[in-house]
Chains A and B, each alone.
Chain A
Amino acid sequence: NAGVTQTPKFQVLKTGQSMTLQCAQDMNHEYMSWYRQDPGMGLRLIHYSVGAGITDQGEVPNGYNVSRSTTEDFPLRLLSAAPSQTSVYFCASSYGQNRHYGYTFGSGTRLTVV
Chain B
Amino acid sequence: GEDVEQSLFLSVREGDSSVINCTYTDSSSTYLYWYKQEPGAGLQLLTYIFSNMDMKQDQRLTVLLNKKDKHLSLRIADTQTGDSAIYFCAESESGGSYIPTFGRGTSLIVHP
Contacts and interface: CB of A to CB of B under 8 A. Distances in A.
- Do A and B originate from a single complex? yes
Contact of A33 (B45, B48, B99, B103): B99
A93 B103 CA distance: 19
B42 interface: yes
A90 B29 CA distance: 23
A45 B33 CA distance: 16
Given A33-B99, A48-B99, A50-B97, A42 B45 contact: no
B99 A40 contact: no
A102 interface: yes
Interface residues of B, number: 25
A96 to B, nearest CB: 9
Contacts, number: 57
Given A42-B104, A90-B42, A31 B97 contact: yes
A41 interface: yes
Contact of B98 (A94, A104, A105): A94
A105 B99 CA distance: 13
Contacts of B31: 100
6 contacts: A41-B104, A42-B104, A100-B92, A100-B98, A105-B43, A106-B42
Given A35-B102, A50-B97, 10 more contacts: A4-B42, A42-B88, A42-B104, A43-B43, A58-B99, A100-B50, A101-B48, A105-B44, A107-B40, A108-B40
